Chains A and B, each alone.
Chain A
Amino acid sequence: MKFRKSEILFFALRNTKLRIGVFIVALFAFLAIFGPYFAKYEPQDFAGPGYNPPSGEYWLGTTTFGRDVFSQFVYGLRSTFLVGFVGGSIATFIGLFVGFLSGYKGGLADELLMMFTNIVLVIPTMALLIILAAYLKYRGVFLESVFIGFTAWPWTARAVRSQTLSLKTREFVNLARITGMKPLKIIVVEILPNMLSYVFMVFILQFGGAILTAATLDFIGLGPTQGISLGLMMQQAVLWNAIQLGMWWWAVPPGIAITAIVGAMYFMNTGLDEVFNPKLREM
């Protein structure tokens, strides 16, 4: 399934789902990168009177303690994207590695790796993360990403393994093997390029998944001990009864951002599937 780059680009640019998805993600990424320059305050600074709904002065209103919600929002976006990227990358990488090794080597290695994968798969990651996170005094965003990455990989490993298994038996790989190509070379030159599209899609799903997991972790109180994130904002809001007090501007926007970004990523994923898989393309 070697594609001409131009053909892929052609379909990619025309795919509606992809365009919408990329647009939304780019929009929030823009906010994340440049927002803090527009924010008038630091997220934890006292900005003004609390309980204020959105206004010209405080674009997303203020919290119970008088902090500027907009500032928290854009800085929180940064943290969210960071976790998504780092956590997603780690999970993708581990999943790729385990799945690939398992599928390619087969035999005992495959059995052991798959058993390991299934164990990690069954353990509810949240419970595990809670136990781990509850005992560390200092937790940074990076550490959180690592946690997430190390627990989110099993489904990827399984999927990569079956992809590898099916590619392994294809003629062109056998051909390469017969001609005496070294296994590593076979992997890099023959098998990987065919999986690249798949890997990309996996990464997007992991990115989105990491964001969701991080938000939940933060919400429960196991997020970073410093800094701000969208999940943390929601936690604070609920803790200080924002809903009962009708302070929707504090509790609702962070969730909108997460839903929008993750939803957009799922869209992108489906769109990419159509681009890479000619059978799904609409005439």
Chain B
Amino acid sequence: MALKIKDLRIYYQTLRGDVKAVDGISFQVKDGEIMGLAGESGCGKSTLSNALILLKPPMKYISGEVFLNDKKLPIDNYEAMRANRFRGVSIIPQYAMNALNPIRKLKQIISDLLEHHGESFVKMRDMIEERLKLVELDEKVLDLYPIELSGGMNQRMVMVISTLLNPSLLLADEITSALDVSSQKAVSKMIVEFRDRKIVRSVIFVTHDISILYQVADSIMIMYAGKQVERAPTETIVKNPLHPYTKLLISSLPEVGIKYSQAPLKGIPGRPPELLNPPEGCRFKDRCPVASEKCDEEPPLVEIEPGHQVACWKVGAIDD
């Protein structure tokens, strides 16, 4: 099992108290699996992915365990994590377009990084050039400065750098959010190719855009207000969602070919609860069309069928 997470809680420290951004998340990602992590802004998905590699104030580790390849991943220990960064876990951050030092040549940046991980740039040069081809970058790029490349090119460069040492787990944090549709397709396909070529073992693909996940993810996990809501293979989530929130999400996706006059877009009325003092019980109950009193008690995550988990009282065997 590539990644196993048990009851993880990560809060944000603020002047007014702790914001419960990730509040009791448990899931697993198999070897070779691309798991999509979707949800609204503020649901905790970015927090989760960043915490898995760089847990720094104002993020605070509260409880929970993380296992990478059956070995404990000490995310709460900044120093101990160092050995795991880049080799074990790696990330393509949301700010990838600005992630490279503007006044240092790209080959210098790579060489510095490799050196500190005990590798040699010279020896890896050929492999690096191969990877560059995969992301459609010319090898001449290595002699340039990041400012001489466009934002998109910088991002693809980061994709190459982050995966240079074939990490077990790659976290892709909103990498398509700032791109146009054709670039989105290209970048998503590159991630799949990385996995297919075994450049990365498993991927957690964080985004708010489910339509992208439909193209690339093997399974999708939906988060809401710091909690898990549903997890299932991609087909199931899209064709047969069970949780009310997921159902509303999927139905609010525009369908190609259908005009607004024929079927107006449905949104989900209301806003997510604030996480400083989240409500008791199910966090979706205030916006849920099928909520009842039972929802004042927090629904556990239950495996309805193999590979499909839902946290809702109205679903499956647990029914009132």
Contact = CB atoms under 8 A, between A and B. Distances in A.
A/B contact in complex, CB under 8 angstroms: yes
A283 B17 CA distance: 11
Nearest to A10: B15
Nearest to B58: A283
A283 B58 CA distance: 9
B307 interface: no
Contacts of B13: 283
Interface string A256-283: 0000000000000000000000000001
A283 B59 CA distance: 12
B269 interface: no
Contacts of A283: 13-15, 57-58
Nearest to A278: B15
Interface in B47-103: 57-58
Max count, chain A CB within 10 A of own CB: residue among B13, B14, B15: B15
Interface string A24-49: 00000000000000000000000000
A9 to B, nearest CB: 15
A283 B56 CA distance: 14
The main secondary structure of chain A at its interface with chain B is loop
What is the predominant secondary structure among interface residues of chain B facing chain A? loop
5 contacts: A283-B13, A283-B14, A283-B15, A283-B57, A283-B58
Interface of B: 13-15, 57-58
B269 to A, nearest CB: 26
B38 to A, nearest CB: 26
A274 to B, nearest CB: 13
Nearest to A11: B15
What 5 A-B pairs come out closest when comparing CB atoms?
A: A283-B13, A283-B15, A283-B58, A283-B57, A283-B14
B16 to A, nearest CB: 11
Interface string A230-274: 000000000000000000000000000000000000000000000
A3 to B, nearest CB: 15
A201 B36 CA distance: 47
A194 B193 CA distance: 46
Contacts of B58: 283
Nearest to B57: A283
A91 B14 CA distance: 39
A218 to B, nearest CB: 44
Contacts of B57: 283
Contacts of B15: 283
B218 to A, nearest CB: 38
A229 B114 CA distance: 62
B285 to A, nearest CB: 31
A283 B13 CA distance: 8
A283 B14 CA distance: 7
A10 to B, nearest CB: 10
B132 to A, nearest CB: 33
B127 to A, nearest CB: 39
A12 to B, nearest CB: 15
Nearest to B13: A283
A43 B58 CA distance: 57
A248 to B, nearest CB: 47
A100 B192 CA distance: 49
Interface in A61-95: none
A278 to B, nearest CB: 10
A105 to B, nearest CB: 27
B256 to A, nearest CB: 29
A109 B240 CA distance: 62
Contacts of B14: 283
A283 B57 CA distance: 10
A87 to B, nearest CB: 38
Nearest to A283: B13
A15 to B, nearest CB: 13
A71 B14 CA distance: 52
B250 to A, nearest CB: 31
B299 to A, nearest CB: 34
B175 to A, nearest CB: 23
Nearest to A282: B15
